[in-house]
A and B are shown apart, each in its own frame.
Chain A
Amino acid sequence: MTALAVSAAPSRWWHSRAVLRFINHRLALLGLAMITLLTLACVLGPYLLPYDSLYIDLRARFAPPMTGHHYLGTDPLGRDLAARLLMAGRISLLVGFSAMLLSIVIGALVGVIAGYRGGWIGAVLMRTVDGFLSFPSIFLVLALAAALRPSPIMITIIIAITKWMEVARIVEAEVRSLREREFVQAGRMLGLSGTHIMFREILPNAMGPIIVAASLTVARAILLEAYISFLGYGIQPPLPSWGNMLNGAQQYLASAPWLAIIPGAAITIAVTSFNFIGDGLRDALDVRDDHI
């Protein structure tokens, strides 16, 4: 029923039906290729470019793309846009990915406990999920970011705090449906502890939906980081992120449109890739199609 169950028959994991179906999904492969290239560029690129991302050169301000070795032009302080874009990519991708991991951990923890224990503990936990879902996430994130000091780690935590609910709901539903199954009853009869049953027996069976939610959560976390950094409450300069590169780009829209267009395109490419991958994983892992 999930990837783990399917992989019992074939001898190698890359022969499994889930992997084959993912490979057949062209958009997912395209997404995977794009995100691999983007990550490689962000990791290796800054070493290959002739300019440092923080090097200010007031003689070269507002250079349009393809002037000299400034392949993407320069910003209002004459810093090389290509170098900044790639350094920003490191931060944005890292924040997005870590926020996803953290929110998956929180969501899985809450979901498993709520689903397995049930009763009033489950009710309180799931109503808390509903409560968090009632706030428009950006209002919550901005209020938190303004109150706490916005370091990259804090931003990651804040994003995770507002993005864990979906995973919690998925895991809770899955665990609730598995709770009375034979293998769980067998575990109980063998005298396994509740923690062991919850995390070692039941949770692995919910891995399919969690993986799909994970890839979509990365996409949303990158977007959310971009939103709050654009509004000035996220990653703080001089540290570049895709969002804060766009902060202030609006006033130069007429004279230097590349300042706004290029970082936004990078965000769109990264987020689209993760959405494509998520879509492919959903097909491959046979997850019920109740989101888009």
Chain B
Amino acid sequence: MRGFLLNRLSQSLALLVIVSIIGFTILSLIPGGPLSQFARDPGMTQQDIERLAEQLGLNRPLWIQYFDWAWRLVQGDWGRSLRDGTYVLSVIGRHLFATFLLMGTSTVIAIAIGTWIGIRGATHRYSLFDYLATIGAMVALSIPTFWFGLVGIYVFTLKLGWVPAGNMYTIGDGSVLDYLHHLILPSVVLSLVHVAIWSRYMRTATLDAISQDFVKTARAKGVSERRILLKHVVGNALLPMITLAGVQLPSILTGALVTETVFTWPGMGRLFLDSLGYSDYPVVMGLLMFSAILVILGNLIADIVVAIVDPRIRLG
């Protein structure tokens, strides 16, 4: 187990280095560099810009700039927002809760519904339900999240008036019930794609588990079908799903960004778009790195959990 952990940890660290290089390269692609925002200010002369570039060390070779930037990143200095001068990490911190609330709720919904559809599709293979679930999943994967959100608002807010059209809470209310009321539509919208993905993988995993010898043994022993399904099949089928949860993180974050825009949800996705609009590159860069770290960490945790649950991996 120790060897496995060390191996996996060093892999993640190496990946972090690569990710930071890609991120830094993209940042340096921006014409005019981090000073492009100031260059547009009529109060700034060419001399001012050159002096600023000198002060910030922007005329040094790129690789020296990279090491300087990376070293400060490691020390926790992610720079300051160009918009209001606050620290990038604290800006991100303020928007974390909203995004995690949205992502967490929709993941729970996706896992619950997706697992059910997947298992039922596998146990009733080639039934009408199975066909509809297969086609439904492919269509669900093809629907743009923002459009699904707009249609949702049209139907459930404008026509039926069941849920609010956006925001995380009503100003002046903010009770748990109020939060939940605002959470329903965006989290269902965000979960659609993941219900589809989750149900497809769960179906395959369940079919794999059903054809295993231990299921035949259990049948031969006279264990009831219900007990076989719950005790032998589902447990084994859920195992690969842990990895899937890690792998799906980037796409959940992508979906969250779009969903937050449609529902004016005050999370990291909205922050990213607002910062892009203001050319606030330190925050944009911070969010890019932060989301990549989140993804790498998520995959690492998923792998470790699988290794703890499944001895074949940590020993083999």
Contact = CB atoms under 8 A, between A and B. Distances in A.
Given A253-B153, A267-B147, A142 B272 contact: yes
A223 B142 CA distance: 8
A216 to B, nearest CB: 10
B197 A135 contact: no
Main secondary structure of the interface of B (DSSP, over half): helix
Nearest to A132: B22
B262 A292 contact: no
Of A135, A144, A246, most B-chain CB atoms within 10 Å:
A135
A8 interface: no
A223 B29 CA distance: 25
Contact of B150 (A134, A137, A250): A250
A67 interface: no
A286 to B, nearest CB: 17
Nearest to B262: A250
Given A140-B288, A264-B144, A267-B144, A128 B137 contact: no
B135 interface: yes
B14 A136 contact: no
A279 interface: yes
Nearest to A260: B150
Interface in B123-154: 135, 137-139, 141-147, 150-151, 153-154
A246 B147 contact: yes
A134 B21 CA distance: 12
Contacts of A223: 142, 144
Given A136-B254, A139-B288, A253-B153, A275 B147 contact: no
Interface in A244-284: 246, 249-250, 253-254, 257, 260-261, 264, 267-268, 271-272, 275-276, 279
A253 B26 contact: no
B250 A253 contact: no
A223 B295 CA distance: 22
A148 B262 CA distance: 25
B51 to A, nearest CB: 24
Interface stretch (A16-24, A36-44, A202-210, A227-235): A227-235
Interface residues of A, number: 46
B15 A134 contact: yes
A156 B12 CA distance: 31
A178 to B, nearest CB: 26
Contact of A230 (B29, B144, B201): B144
Interface of A: 27, 127-128, 130-140, 142-144, 146-148, 219, 223, 226-227, 230-231, 233, 243, 246, 249-250, 253-254, 257, 260-261, 264, 267-268, 271-272, 275-276, 279, 289, 292
Interface of B: 14-15, 18-19, 21-23, 26, 29-31, 135, 137-139, 141-147, 150-151, 153-154, 158, 196-197, 200-201, 204, 250-251, 253-254, 257-258, 261-262, 272-273, 276, 279, 284, 287-288, 291-292, 295-296
29 contacts: A27-B135, A134-B250, A134-B292, A134-B296, A135-B22, A136-B254, A137-B250, A139-B254, A139-B288, A146-B279, A147-B30, A148-B31, A223-B142, A227-B254, A230-B146, A231-B258, A233-B276, A257-B154, A261-B150, A261-B154, A267-B144, A268-B142, A268-B144, A271-B141, A271-B143, A272-B139, A276-B138, A292-B137, A292-B196
